[in-house]
Structure 1
Amino acid sequence: MSDTTHLLVPWAATSSPGSDQAWQGLALPQLERLIRQLTPLAPDVQEEACFSPPHERALGRALGLGDADGRIAFAALHAAQTGLASAAKPGDGWAFVTPCHWQVRTDHVTLSDPQALDLGEEESRALLALMAPWFAEDGMALHYEQPGRWLASGPLLAQVATASLDRVLQRDVRAWLPPEAAAAPLRRLHSEMQMLLYTHALTDAREARGLAPINAFWVHGSGALPAPLPASQPPQVVESLRGPALREDWATWRSAWQALDAGPVAELAARAAKGQPVQITLCGERGALSWRSAPRSLAQKISSFFGRQRLSQLREQL
């Protein structure tokens, strides 16, 4: 079903108690209409402690990258699509590198939202130039892409598992660092960069402007592309729920869900009603639930348990 229209919905629910409350009484008539027309697929449920959240696992499968935990090669795919892959050597993997601020307390180290850093291109390039020689000592080359995100290439990044940025935002980073045995160079680089940046002029300049210092980085999206990469139709990934969910702004999250229901979900339901092949995947922090068009003769034989559930019951599986 390569021509299937696939709507992928990250942050459809979270593990926060506020998410439970926000779901109560949330009316999503188009979503209910849609899933009654479709056939449920096997759910994907993993531990919340895994490095790759459900929406990244679902996207990795849809793009032909697979769903190996912490090794879904989103950065390698991006490098190939932008022509940057030619800068790598045979056997290299890729990863995204996000400059960030770690808020250090006695009992936890929290990664603040990088989008709040107000990092400009000139400052970002200066940081990259400062940090690049340290990465090079461990066989990794840094490549500038945009102020808030660089890329790195090197043999280590073909194998090491790294946690999604979505897993660690506003949380204690210590639970999400790469396994020590497999990623000793990255763990050492974290310590070295903290010491390097602590008293650097770039840090002083930011603090003089009232901005949080950039004192760390986060590596994510690591891996190497499968060869050959299967041709695939990318899903439509919904971004509107992510920000409110991470901020735990549940009023805005509910409004975003209602707009999603009235817009893209309604459009998908209309396609399904016309017999066009469609799929929808709802993702939380633990699990993903998918429904897809099936031949009518098959669909008539399948009693859709999911289609008869209330949305609040579905939320419990995400």
Structure 2
Amino acid sequence: MKQITLALPYALPPAELAADLQRALQTPALAALLSRTGARHVQACDAGARVLPHESWLAVQLGLRAQPAAPADTDADASAPLAGAVLHGYGQPAQEGHWFIVHPIHVQMARTHLSLADPRALALADDDARVLFEAAQPYFAELGKELRYGDAGTWFLRADDWAGLATSSPDSASSMNLSDLMPEGPNAVAFRKLQNEIQMLWYEHPVNQARQARGLPPVNSFWIWGGAPAAAQPQTGSTGAAGALAVNAGPAWMMALARPALRDVALAELLQQGGAQATVVCAALIEPGIAGDWSQWLARMQQLEQDWFAPLLAALQTGRVGSATLILNHRGASAEFTTSKLAQRKFWHKHTLKNLLP
């Protein structure tokens, strides 16, 4: 029998909307999984952290950063040193150096500040991305920094002397005030200088002129995060999760953390993979959660009910899965629920979604 950990970033709704969203959901299997439990734990997270709770959690699961010292730890020092692991997942392992994940982005002007548009909405074609990459590459090389191409939205940067920079993930920065989330620390000025040069290079680039003519936002800057030594690779040691990490509907960098056979895999397929433990990140709620698109959030929760919650509940009831842990979070909180076949027999616990409430 397997032990399944199902991580659901942004499955916890914001406090001010939680009651209304909970009433709108028609997810009886999720209600059963959250109501009849053997253990539950709710933890506050630092809403101003440079990475989101699920990103920091992923780094812990993969053995890339230390487990928080105590269950009550708010994880204010949360980090996600994922670059080396993501680089490896793209089939481009490096033997040395300090690497960052790089995303071409669109920075937009809000009413009072600059903000980062969700990179998922950039719709950057591979041909256009390669042209912008090749235009920018000499600027990085002039500073002794290696820039590698992964795909249209995911590049990699070796910058050993920038190892001390504190960086923010793009999802933590999306729609936020960028002045609070730009890289800080040693060589931050050098980073900003290079960023400004690339911004000027791309400002009137033919690729961006053509994009704007098609009604698409220009690619006007780049974002770095996830800095880690090349040697920081996933481990299958104490957690046992890394070797069976599956990712569904995640951004490209997250998908690269899973083996190809475990990308967008269904529960039935996962159970056939063998092994005592499996960890799944279902990332479909991140985009609507960040955007505040709650009608889309509800629709995707209903799809998760069909694809994951109902099959998982059935697998618990038949004993095919021994126990399941669901981890739900948003920017400022994380909740963990563990259930089993025995726990599901607690008929005196009414099925309810009230555990989605703060």
TM-score where L is the length of structure 2: 0.73
SS in 2 for 1:64: coil
**Partner amino acid for 2:357?**
R
Whether 1:242 and 2:247 are equivalent positions in the alignment is no
**Aligned equivalents of 1:258 and 1:285: distance in 2?**
22
- Counterpart CA distance in 1 for 2:19 and 2:338 is 26
Determine which of 138, 150, 156 is the counterpart of 1:151: 156
**2:326 aligned residue (272, 277, 280):** 280
Answer yes or no: is 1:253 the counterpart of 2:258: no
Give the drift of 1:120: 1.8
Partners of 2:314 and 2:150 lie apart in 1 by 39
Deviation of residue 223 (structure 1)? Answer: 1.8
Q: After alignment, is 222-231 or 283-292 more displaced?
A: 222-231
The verdict on how the C-alpha distance between 1:312 and 1:183 changes in structure 2, with shifts beyond 3 A counting, is farther
Structure 2: gaps spanning 5 or more residues: 67-74, 237-241, 246-278
Residue 265 of structure 1 is matched in structure 2 by 309
More off after superposition, 16-25 vs 212-221 = 16-25
2: CA distance, partners of 1:142 / 1:180? 21
Give the 3-state SS of the residue equivalent to 2:289 in structure 1.
helix
1:191 to 2:168 alignment: no
Paired position in structure 1 for 2:353: 311
Aligned to 1:162: 167
Q: Which residue of 1 aligns with 2:56?
A: 57
Tell me the residue number matched to 1:81: 89
How many percent identity over aligned positions?
A: 27
Please give the alpha-carbon distance, in whole angstroms, between the structure 1 residues aligned to 2:309 and 2:341: 21
Q: Which amino acid aligns with 1:79?
A: L
Residue type of the alignment partner of 2:137: A
Q: Does 1:32 align with 2:26?
A: no
Structure 2 CA distance for aligned equivalents of residues 44 and 96 of structure 1: 28
| Counterpart amino acid of residue 198 in structure 1 | Y
Aligned positions, number: 305
Change (3 A) 1:195 1:15: farther
Letter aligned with residue 23 of structure 1:
Q
Match of 1:113 among 111, 118, 131: 118
Which residue does the alignment assign to 1:292? Answer: 338
Q: Displacement, 1:27?
A: 4.0
Distance 2:84 2:191 in 1: 18
**In the alignment, what sits opposite 1:7?**
6
Task: Kindly provide the amino acid, as one letter, of the partner of residue 171 in structure 2.
Answer: D
Q: Could you state the TM-score of these two structures normalised by the residue count of structure 1?
A: 0.82
**Alpha-carbon separation, structure 2, partners of 1:208 and 1:188:** 29
Partner residue of 1:130 out of 129, 135, 140: 135
Confirm or deny: 8 A CA contact 1:94 1:157 kept in the other structure.
Answer: no
Q: What amino acid sits opposite 2:331 in the alignment?
A: E
Moved more, 278-287 or 245-254: 245-254
Alignment deviations for residues 239-277 of structure 1 (CA, whole Å, 9 cap, x no partner): 222232233221221122123224312222233332613
Give yes or no for the alignment of 1:173 onto 2:178: yes
Q: Give the Cα separation in 1 of the matches to 2:209 and 2:89.
A: 37
Q: Retained in 1: the 8 A contact 2:59–2:80?
A: yes
